[in-house]
Structure 1
Amino acid sequence: MNGESSLIPTDGLGQADLDALSAFVDGELPEGERRAIAERLVHDPRAADRVTHFRAQRAALRALFADPAAQSSGPCIVLRIRTPWWRHALVAAGSLAAGVVLAWFAGTLETYLLPPAAQSAFARQADIAYALYAPEQEHAVEVAATREGTVVSWLSKRLNRPLTVPSLAEYGYAFLGGRLLPGSAGPAAQFMYENGHGERLALYVSAASLAQAPVRLWRDGDRRTFYWASRRTAYALSGEIPGDRLRAIAVDVCGDLGGRPEQWR
């Protein structure tokens, strides 16, 4: 990935910064440097955006070159790269450029046509589910992470869509497992994470009526939920940690799941 850094906009970041961020995404940094980069992402939106781009690029390449036989053995999600305008200008013109503009415009319409009331209702459901199950010590999840393939496959079938469990290991959170919950749009899934201090985060997933919706914040007391929609699937990440840290994690999760974390509200 480092070899491609010079081909993308730097956003004011130096080559050393881009190399370090790329190595961070590829898991090539020593523990001390990895922690320093993770903390930097909380306060540096440019670096966080670049990491999101690198992660989406890596995920798309893995999906592109994955073994089809291996893919058929379990649920997966194919991520897409949101190709920047300057690359389109290098490879196409005329009708192709017009097609890109029309696709972007259509996506924008979908974003703003999704009823805000439905989005806030979804966020509240995610918040309530987090408030209900995060304090549980013995029954925080219905199926434990020791059966990760089972819980993801089961919830994918119940929600009738391929699901994936994003890794939050770089932020110190381990995957505990998941559960099936009722939602206003049908079945919903909740994936629970926990760090070494006992703090928990929950990713809540359900069907969405339209393809895209920008990331928004729902707050109830000390609980915060960042929520969005991508590919007709709604997501919400809830926790009781500082907002800037939860936001940085939500940026990564949104990008990893094929969303548009740049559309913050």
Structure 2
Amino acid sequence: MQNTKGLALEVRLSAYIDGEVSEVERRELEHLVHYDDEARLLLEMLKAGNNFGNSAFEEFLHDPVPLSLVRHIKQGSGAMPRNERAPVAPQRKNRVKIWPRALVASLALFLVGGSTGFIIGKASNDTALPTTAVAARTWLDDIADYHRIYARQAKHLVEVPASQEETIKSWLSQSVGIPFRLPDLEAQGLTFQGARLLVAAGKPVAQLMYKSSDGDVVAICFLKSKPGSTDSPATESIRDDLAMISWQKSGASYVVVGSSAKANLQELADRVSAQII
């Protein structure tokens, strides 16, 4: 068994997929993948790459070996004509039977050894993910997608209307695992419309919907944070036409979503943070 602690996460997860880690490290990695969305996505990507590699390698082993390559390796010299395939013929002698397999195995070990050396060598010099890797989606990306859809629903903006305030609070508190109060944003020109239950990053998310007299929709969304998460100040991010103010507080992650043209979104987020707990 390998001890991969201290190596890049992709190397540790690769060893985990191959069953080359100790029982203690296996449990540690499974716990990490269970609670860390980025680690879970990386594991899925590695598994997909592993399956693709196995499939390609299987096809390679069944592909006919060029006769010119066999002749060149046997003789140690001479040109290697291209596009010449070994004819399919009955296996008459043990030497004929064994040699192509040995050749293919040698080539395969060369290819696999080279690629493994590249991965481990790179990991020892760079413990971060490659900068060319596609950034993993977060729960905020899912929330932005939901908001673009539901904010346009004039007649079906919410699942449960604002008139059922107590139902909303008990329903979402139990579903998400976070007790909360409904923020009063009337002074900011926003009226509470009702609520929805969403799923983002595989977790239940509460969504509180507010609307201005002009028809602008602002959403407050929150979900339970990962174990061990600490409070963090509000940060702003832009998703095309949407602005998002997100923060962590008291074991929950929050975000206020609205049009990127809305000037007072930070003020709204401050008011929500002060009232919702």
Aligned-CA RMSD value: 2.4
Q: Does 1:231 align with 2:244?
A: no
Please say if residues 211 and 233 of structure 1, whose CA atoms lie closer than 8 Å, have aligned partners that are also in contact.
no
Q: Distance in 2 between matches of 1:117 and 1:245?
A: 32
Normalised by the size of structure 2, how large is the TM-score? 0.48
Offset, 1:241: 5.2
Normalised by the size of structure 1, how large is the TM-score? 0.50
Match of 2:174 among 135, 139, 157: 157
Offset, 1:226: 0.5
Percentage of identical aligned residues:
26
Report the residue type matching 1:249 in the other structure: L
Q: Does 1:211 align with 2:211?
A: no
1:180-259 matches, cutoff 5 A:
180-184=197-201, 186-209=203-226, 210-240=229-259, 242-257=261-276
Offset, 1:161: 2.0
Size of the alignment, in residue pairs?
Answer: 145
1:4-15 matches, cutoff 5 A:
none
Offset, 1:122: 2.3
How far does the alpha carbon of each residue in 1:121-145 deviate from its partner, in whole angstroms, 9 at most, with x for none?
1222221221121111111100000
Of 171-180 and 234-243, deviating more is 234-243
Whichever of the two has the greater Rg, that structure is 2
Report the residue type matching 2:217 in the other structure: R
Q: Distance in 2 between matches of 1:123 and 1:242?
A: 18
1:96-115 matches, cutoff 5 A:
none
Q: Distance in 1 between matches of 2:263 and 2:243?
A: 10
1:37-48 matches, cutoff 5 A:
none
Report the residue type matching 1:225 in the other structure: M
Q: Distance in 1 between matches of 2:260 and 2:193?
A: 18
Report the residue type matching 1:130 in the other structure: H
Q: Distance in 2 between matches of 1:219 and 1:116?
A: 21
Higher relative contact order (CA 8 A, sep 6+): 1
How far does the alpha carbon of each residue in 1:49-68 deviate from its partner, in whole angstroms, 9 at most, with x for none?
xxxxxxxxxxxxxxxxxxxx
Please say if residues 178 and 223 of structure 2, whose CA atoms lie closer than 8 Å, have aligned partners that are also in contact.
no
Q: Distance in 1 between matches of 2:192 and 2:272?
A: 14
Q: Distance in 2 between matches of 1:122 and 1:252?
A: 22
In structure 2, stretches of 5+ residues that fail to align are 1-35, 40-135
Offset, 1:165: 1.3
Offset, 1:157: 0.7
- Aligned residue number for residue 148 of structure 1: 165
Moved over 4 A (4+): 115-120
Offset, 1:190: 0.6
Q: Distance in 1 between matches of 2:159 and 2:172?
A: 11
Q: Does 1:137 align with 2:154?
A: yes
Offset, 1:183: 2.0
